A and B are shown apart, each in its own frame.
Chain A
Amino acid sequence: MAAERTWKLHFGPHHPSTHGVLRIDLELEGEKVIKATPIIGQLHRGIEKIAEDFTFHQAIPLTDRLDYTAASLNNLGYVLAVEKLLGIEVPKRAQYLRVIISELSRIMGHHLWIGSAALDLGAMTVVFYAFSDREVIMECIEEASGGRLTPTYMRIGGVAKDVTEKFVERVKYFVDMFPVKIDGYETLLTDNIIWRQRNENLAVISYEEAINLGLTGAVGRASGVNYDVRKAFPYSSYEDFDFQVPVGTRGDAFDRYMCRIEEMRQSVKIIKQAIENLPDGPVMADIPYLNPPQEKVRTDIDALIRRFKFVLSGFKAPKGEVYQSVEGSKGELGFYIYSDGGEKPYRLKIKSPCYIHVSALPAMIEGYMISDIITAIGGLDIVLGEIDR
């Protein structure tokens, strides 16, 4: 018997399982979701507007604050977009270091996801394991850049500074130790009957629907969309590395989980190849209008003046528009820059994957129970800093 009346429920913005300040207006029939309307914008800081007043170099730290669980990936996307606009080539060592740092960040993002998604469903053990392993990565990134959560390691033309011997040791330690830990997560979750029953056949999105809704990353790949920016549009020497892209078949929350687990394994594989074949050489491109390398600044007066000019007034970029994307930890993270020939980005648009995924949320949860929303959001892996920008 159909219920006689429906009722409204405001889910969030302070509900812990919305992973931030996401609000969903629900229309319910009993416990069944009839209509869902996501409402975003409570963390809107206007990063795109602020960036218009900054020079290209000054805008790098802003991008850290987008997806703060995997900050270096955002840096990479932005600096790659500016480099594409300028048309410059980055030294091989810097490219490999970028790959290592961004793959470490990807695993960091997945750590936070696996911890919090499991915590939402009451599996408390996973979050402790995930965060203690996350700490090992944090130490690696701290050794390289000095920062932990928001490292700002990438620079236009290379990376901030060269890595130490200690960094290489730490990364090698992590690469050796981590595959066993992934097996540990799997024993806790993949074989867990509660986890399986709550995730399987939930929030199902078909192949055609996934492309039409614009789903990328693990969410899209779970539906069978074989699209990875690292493979389709290789950047930063990703074509040198041997790795596979996991693709799901059913498109449910459980496949999204399995895709991310496999993605972590592939990330470890990439880091291993990169750290073993790390080439020698400079980590910054020596281009007259860019920031000169650190050693030069200390010995060469011309380089010192160049740095002064670079920091104070920036450099002029050619007129034109570019779109450059990277495979973020959540999906395709893109930066569109329109330059009018000045030293500031005339318009910077950030294409965030979570933003598109939230717009697809109604298609996923309508028809399911209210408790399934929590599982669906957990499977989407959203970060509100990136959605609201």
Chain B
Amino acid sequence: MAKAKDIIKLIQKKFKKDIISAEEFRGEAVVKVKKEKLLNLCEFLYKEKKLLFNLLVDVTAVDFLPYDRKPRFDVVYILTSIDNEHRMILKTEVDEGEKVPSVYHIWKSANFPEREVYDMFGIEFEGHPDLRRLLMWPGYEYHPLRKDFPTKGYDFEQTWDPETIKENVIKF
């Protein structure tokens, strides 16, 4: 069981320039990496014997619109190592309209969570095999978990327009 400090040390040794921030909070490592190096770091975390993060628990995002931050979103990956029994939080920054590389080819469990982030925040994942809306219906215009979306939601017309349906329905 590697401690948070050791995890951070190992990552910083390999990716010194590409780490935006690395800190320990409540006993867990929170590392923020540049978007360009995300895939390299993920592969390193997956393969490195001392770390061996083989379980991707979750992918999510945080919207920083009220803080007027640029880039707007944080994409968060929660990783666990079953063999070494430690976990960490990995983050990357992305602005509106930009794409994040998908980690689907490393961890297949990223399938639904990445789709949900696309659905709820409008962040697109490059290389995801099936990036469609997950919880909201096809043809819905908004991204509900963005901070500019009201909790009550917007009124919408239930459009069962055959053309929209045709576009969005799964094609076999």
Is B one of A's binding partners? yes
Flag if B172 contacts A27 (CB, 8 Å): yes
Q: A27-B172, A325-B57 are in contact. Are A213 and B109 (CB under 8 A)?
A: yes
* A179 located at the interface, meaning its Cβ lies under 8 Å from any Cβ of chain B in the complex: no
Stretch from B11-19, B93-101, B131-139, B156-164 contacting the other chain: B131-139
Flag if A213 contacts B108 (CB, 8 Å): yes
Cβ contacts under 8 Å, A124 to chain B: none
Give the one of A27, A46, A87, A389 with max B CB within 10 A: A46
Stretch from B2-10, B23-31, B34-42 contacting the other chain: B23-31
Flag if B144 contacts A46 (CB, 8 Å): yes
* B126 located at the interface, meaning its Cβ lies under 8 Å from any Cβ of chain A in the complex: no
Closest to B30 in A: A321
Flag if B135 contacts A388 (CB, 8 Å): yes
Flag if A225 contacts B107 (CB, 8 Å): no
Flag if B87 contacts A41 (CB, 8 Å): no
Instruction: Return B158 CB to nearest CB of chain A, in Å.
Output: 14
List 27 contacting pairs A-B, 8 Å CB cutoff, sorted by A: A41-B134, A41-B135, A48-B145, A50-B151, A53-B151, A87-B26, A211-B55, A212-B54, A212-B108, A212-B109, A213-B108, A214-B55, A225-B82, A233-B85, A320-B26, A321-B30, A323-B58, A325-B57, A334-B57, A336-B60, A346-B62, A349-B60, A351-B58, A351-B78, A356-B109, A359-B111, A359-B112
Instruction: Return A121 CB to nearest CB of chain B, in Å.
Output: 27
Q: A46-B144, A87-B26 are in contact. Are A40 and B134 (CB under 8 A)?
A: yes
A interface list, Cβ under 8 A from B? 6, 8, 25, 27, 35, 37, 40-41, 44, 46, 48-50, 52-53, 84-85, 87, 211-214, 216, 225-227, 232-233, 320-323, 325, 332, 334, 336, 338, 340, 346-347, 349, 351, 355-356, 358-360, 388-389
Query: With A and B bound together, what is the CA distance between A233 and B55 in angstroms?
Result: 14
Query: With A and B bound together, what is the CA distance between A338 and B38 in angstroms?
Result: 21
Q: A41-B136, A233-B87 are in contact. Are A320 and B112 (CB under 8 A)?
A: no
Flag if A35 contacts B112 (CB, 8 Å): no
Cβ contacts under 8 Å, B134 to chain A: 40-41
Give the one of B135, B137, B170 with max A CB within 10 A: B135
Flag if B151 contacts A52 (CB, 8 Å): yes
Q: Which of A35, A349, A389 contacts B58 (CB 8 A)?
A: A349
Query: With A and B bound together, what is the CA distance between A27 and B172 in angstroms?
Result: 8
Instruction: Return B60 CB to nearest CB of chain A, in Å.
Output: 4
Flag if A49 contacts B144 (CB, 8 Å): yes
Flag if B172 contacts A358 (CB, 8 Å): no
Q: Which of A227, A322, A358, A360 contacts B28 (CB 8 A)?
A: A322
Cβ contacts under 8 Å, B56 to chain A: 214
Flag if A212 contacts B172 (CB, 8 Å): no
Cβ contacts under 8 Å, B89 to chain A: 321, 323, 336
Query: With A and B bound together, what is the CA distance between A359 and B113 in angstroms?
Result: 9
Flag if A211 contacts B25 (CB, 8 Å): no
Flag if B26 contacts A211 (CB, 8 Å): no
Instruction: Return B7 CB to nearest CB of chain A, in Å.
Output: 14
